[in-house]
Structure 1
Amino acid sequence: MSVPNPTTRVDTGRRTPTAGVDWARDDHAVAVVDPDGEQTARFTITHDRAGMRELVRRLLKAGVVEVGIERPDGPVVDALRQAGLVVFVIPPGQLKNLRSRYGSAGNKDDRFDAYVLADTVRTDRRRLRPLLTDTPTTTALRQTVRARRDLVAHRVAVANQLRAHLQIVFPGAVGLFADIDSEISLRFLERFTTQNQADWLSPKRLGAWLVSVGYCGRVAPTVLHTRLAEAPRGLTGADTTASAAVTRAYVAVLRALTGQIAELAARIGEQLELHPDAEIFTSLPRGGRVRAARLLAEIGDARGRFPTADSLACLAGVAPSTRQSGKVRAVSFRWGADRELRDAICDFAGDSRHANPWAADLYRRARARGHDHPHAVRVLARAWVGVIWACWTTNTPYDPDRHRALQRILNQDQPAAA
């Protein structure tokens, strides 16, 4: 017996049972309903290899073809797809609203949620889109990109903690250099950890130390020494032992994070170089390597996932949400969105205005209409989605010469031909 292709919508020509799987950490609740909505099976499987085999065996034995689940990835989804079952993803927020179909209590119960998932697939399959997954290459790139982003967030948090600590024990070190987590700032704190050690410095001694560590010389040693001297005094004497240990701990963590971020960035560059869609995203203005990789990873390479540019814009949360009742019409921020995708597209769009006149003009006009910066960036991101989607679906790198809206901006101030 042939199994259905898990990447296409199934039309079996007959009514078949459907299943729902409520994902948990250690075990998963499963429900099977017949074509009339009656629950015919309910069981729990463990989150291990034996449990995955048991899940697939019992679903196939029951004649299930389509399964509803709350998340699009993980061992359970892999096992279902490998068995030829069609997977429909129903996000937790949507599932929460669907519970009201079956009662007003709204209580969270894994077994009940499994039934709701199964019954929703039975009744609403024409409104659901089968799960389309990216290639392993894109999935691996997404893991690396997100890991780097998380480490950057950790670095920012630790840098803020170090800054708050130094404001109390050694204020002069806080504003000495541009960034508290820069290489020169970390080296300074390793050498001059306390106010006592910094008091030894003179302009000449500070200049000699800066030369020894290869400082770029952007700010003169006399200016840096003046900053130290004019800053509030920090702790001195015997009280500095504990504070120095805390400073060194924060510096060590920042060094470790910075090193791992650099390693992941290099890995991202390698993965991007080998990806068939790399040229599409690196051709975008101010795309760079890491930013291009992040856009590629979050959009993915499953073209069928976004049949239109609007579908991509809505999932990215850059298209507004419109509510209308009678004569009342309200346009508001779209809360239901993929936050990772929205952040990636908005990050690119916000920076693109510094390199692309068309983007700069769109942003400027949005601000002129009274939008704040985040709103103006989303307006610009919505416009970029159409361009990116066209390049993505046709496997064509971005070409400024073929971007007609950009060319109109570039040519609007040119004198007319004689």
Structure 2
Amino acid sequence: MTVYCGIDWAEEHHDVAIVDDSGGLVARLRIGDDAAGYQQLIDLLADAGDNPQQPIPVAIETSRGLLVACLRATGRRVYAINPVAVARYRDRYTVSRTKSDHVDAVVLANILRTDMAVHRPLPEDSELVQAIAVLARAQQDAVWDRTQAHNKLRSLLREYYPTFLLAFRDARGGITRPEARAVLAAAPTPTQAAALTPDDLAEALRRAGRQRGIAAEADRLHQALAAATLHQPPLVEQAMGRQALALLRALDTACLNAEDLATAAEQSFDQHPDAEIITSFAGLGRLIGARVLAEIGDDRSRFADTRALKSYAGSAPITRASGKSLIVMHRRVKNQRLAHAGHLWAFSALSASPGAHAHYQRRRTSGDGHTAALRHLSNRLLGCLHHCLQIRQPYQEETAFAAPQPHQMPTAA
């Protein structure tokens, strides 16, 4: 008898349901979110016929957490079903809109019983690529946190300290640069900044790690910060200065986290055997390469073909046809992290690959906007990456973007 297991995940407990081929309930149990609860689940599966040769497949609404990690370690197929899809399936079994944890567990088990073929199990990625995924995603989150902290601080500075923004307007990184953060920490208000001497500014630059051109930069900043400007009332200016220091501490932490996680992600990425192939692509460095590997994994059976990977990344178009209506549009349901990495990759490839630049220009000439042309280029590059990883060969520019052969007219006999 073939059986299927569904687990309704919750923070403190999980409801388990096992059904047979006919949809009959074989067993049910509520387990705790701890080691004892996991042992109860293993015992329940064993009583239902679980064995190493034919492990019982499990459907659950999340792909993360200790319970999922332990289930994957047993070698069984684990299906992470989207909660929205579970809600749609629930209507097949009850019209009264009844909902409970046990009902959801039964629905999850029945999803595998009836529609297992249309759902994909979690990929069998290596432990190393799972670690890369943790670091790469955390680094991307840290970059987003840094951007948010930067925007909050910049918005406040515009209200009372515009001379500081002008002083670092042309510097790469703006106020996120270590020199800018060190100067702001030394003088959080325009009144304090006007009282700084070039020597004070030079000392702040040294604390930030600057080693060259310190005197010239200190003189430039002294002139910029001492320029005449409008002021808030003194007490209001002091209060805004205290607020700026609080936001600056958040920005310092975000910058440190982004840099530290980027280093860790790159170091782990370098240890993976696919790193050499991935970084052989034009415009694909170690950090963005780590993000790409984190999302596609190293389970080569995960994507049946190139189009499956492109669809997962959202670069392949989607077609909606009904009767005489036919609409081709870009995908909105996709892996957002992989789509973002593909966008950055395609943009970098414009200056690193003549073939990629020519492909982009052809798309622009044909009527595509900038974003659409980059998405089309990302689609092309992802196809090349899938092919190179399958055959274990590095990227070759002349093969990926071969020059079109001129059309030859047939000669007369």
- Tell me, yes or no, whether TM beats 0.5: yes
What is the Cα deviation at residue 304 of structure 1?
0.8
Distance 2:288 2:398 in 1: 22
Q: Cα–Cα, structure 1 residues 39 and 185, in superposed 2: closer, same or farther, change >3 Å? A: same
Report Cα offsets for 1:133-173 as digits up to 9, x if no partner: 21111111111111111111111111111111111221211
| Residue of structure 1 equivalent to 2:183 | 188
What is the Cα deviation at residue 63 of structure 1?
2.6
| Residue of structure 2 equivalent to 1:257 | 254
Greater shift after overlay, 103-112 or 310-319? 103-112
- Contact residue 183 and residue 204 of structure 2 kept, 8 A: no
Find the residue that maps to 1:31 and give its secondary structure.
strand
Q: Cα–Cα, structure 1 residues 32 and 205, in superposed 2: closer, same or farther, change >3 Å? A: closer
1:249-398 alignment runs, 5 A limit: 249-398=246-395
- Contact residue 194 and residue 236 of structure 1 kept, 8 A: no
Q: Cα–Cα, structure 1 residues 210 and 89, in superposed 2: closer, same or farther, change >3 Å? A: closer
Residues 1:132 and 2:129 aligned together? no
2:192 alignment partner AA = Q
Q: Cα–Cα, structure 1 residues 154 and 68, in superposed 2: closer, same or farther, change >3 Å? A: same
- Contact residue 56 and residue 79 of structure 1 kept, 8 A: no
TM-score, scaled relative to structure 2 = 0.85
| Residue of structure 2 equivalent to 1:6 | none
Q: Cα–Cα, structure 1 residues 240 and 407, in superposed 2: closer, same or farther, change >3 Å? A: same
What is the Cα deviation at residue 58 of structure 1?
0.7
Residues 1:35 and 2:21 aligned together? yes
What is the Cα deviation at residue 306 of structure 1?
1.1
Greater shift after overlay, 24-33 or 193-202? 193-202
Report Cα offsets for 1:218-276 as digits up to 9, x if no partner: 99777656654667423363444322222222222222322232222222232122111
Residues 1:241 and 2:234 aligned together? no
- Contact residue 195 and residue 235 of structure 1 kept, 8 A: no
Distance 1:260 1:155 in 2: 9
- Contact residue 171 and residue 231 of structure 1 kept, 8 A: no
Structure 1 segments of 4+ aligned residues over 6 angstroms from their partners? 202-212, 217-223, 409-412
1:395 alignment partner AA = R
1:106-125 alignment runs, 5 A limit: 109-125=100-116
Identity, in percent, stands at 33
- Contact residue 182 and residue 205 of structure 2 kept, 8 A: no
What is the Cα deviation at residue 368 of structure 1?
3.3
Q: Cα–Cα, structure 1 residues 352 and 54, in superposed 2: closer, same or farther, change >3 Å? A: same
- Contact residue 357 and residue 410 of structure 1 kept, 8 A: no
- Contact residue 355 and residue 397 of structure 2 kept, 8 A: no
What is the Cα deviation at residue 354 of structure 1?
2.1
Q: 1:85 aligns with which of 44, 59, 76?
A: 76
| Residue of structure 2 equivalent to 1:3 | none
- Contact residue 316 and residue 341 of structure 1 kept, 8 A: yes
What is the Cα deviation at residue 387 of structure 1?
0.1
What is the Cα deviation at residue 360 of structure 1?
1.8
Q: 2:148 aligns with which of 157, 163, 180?
A: 157
Q: Cα–Cα, structure 1 residues 318 and 105, in superposed 2: closer, same or farther, change >3 Å? A: farther
Find the residue that maps to 2:30 and give its secondary structure.
strand
What is the Cα deviation at residue 104 of structure 1?
4.9
1:284 alignment partner AA = F
Distance 1:21 1:209 in 2: 57
- Contact residue 202 and residue 215 of structure 2 kept, 8 A: no
Greater shift after overlay, 300-309 or 226-235? 226-235
- Contact residue 283 and residue 346 of structure 2 kept, 8 A: no
Q: Mind listing any 5+ residue stretches in structure 2 that lack a counterpart?
A: 51-55, 408-413
2:47 alignment partner AA = K
| Residue of structure 1 equivalent to 2:10 | 24
Report Cα offsets for 1:281-340 as digits up to 9, x if no partner: 111112122111111111111111112111111111111221211111222332332222
| Residue of structure 2 equivalent to 1:46 | 32
